[in-house]
Amino acid sequence: MTSNLARAVPRRALVVAVAAAALAVACGGGNSDTTEGASPGSSTTVVEATEPVGITAIGHSGLTGENSDPDRPGQPALENSWATGTSPEVDSIYLRLAAARPETEGHVANEAQGGAPSATLRSQLARAFDQVPNPALVIIQTIDGDLRCDLDDPELVTAFGANVAAVLDDITTAAPDAAVLMVDQLGRPSTSYVEELVAAHPEQQAALTWDDECSFFDTSGQLSPAGFANLTEVIERFEAEQARVCATVPTCRTDGGVRAAYVDTFENMSADFNHLNVRGNAAAAALVWPIVADMLGVE
Task: Note down the domain range covering 84.
Answer: 6-296
In a domain, 21, yes or no: yes
**Residue 120: per-residue pLDDT:** 98
In a domain, 47, yes or no: yes
In a domain, 82, yes or no: yes
Asked if 136 and 87 touch (Cβ cutoff 8 Å), the reply is no
**Residue 21: per-residue pLDDT:** 30
For the cut 70, the answer to whether the pLDDT of residue 14 exceeds it is no
The Cβ-side half-sphere exposure at 81, using a 13 Å CA radius, reads 36
How is the chain classified by DSSP, letter by letter?
A: ---TTEE-----TT-----SSSE-------TTB--TT--TT--------SS--SEEEEESGGGTTTT-STTSTTS--GGG-TTT---TTT--HHHHHHHHSGGGTT-EEE---BT--GGGHHHHHHHHHHHSSS-SEEEEE-SGGG----TT-HHHHHHHHHHHHHHHHHHHHH-TT-EEEE---SS---HHHHHHHHHH-TTHHHHT--SSTT-SB-TTS-B-HHHHHHHHHHHHHHHHHHHHHHTTSTTEEE-TTTTTT----GGGB-TTSSSB-HHHHHHHHHHHHHHHHHHHT--
Asked if 74 and 31 touch (Cβ cutoff 8 Å), the reply is yes
Q: pLDDT category, 38, cuts 50, 70, 90? A: very low
In a domain, 106, yes or no: yes
For the stretch 225-245, pLDDT in tens is 999 999 999 999 999 999 999
> What CATH number should be reported for the domain holding residue 37?
3.40.50.1110
Task: Average the pLDDT over 251-271 and give the result.
Answer: 95
Number of structural domains (the chain) is 1
In a domain, 127, yes or no: yes
Q: pLDDT category, 150, cuts 50, 70, 90? A: confident
In a domain, 1, yes or no: no
In a domain, 114, yes or no: yes
pTM of this structure: 0.85
For the stretch 49-72, pLDDT in tens is 579 999 999 999 999 999 999 999
* Closest by CA position to 68, among listed 225, 239, 281: 281
Q: What is the mean pLDDT of the chain?
A: 86
**Residue 22: per-residue pLDDT:** 33
**Residue 49: per-residue pLDDT:** 52
In a domain, 237, yes or no: yes
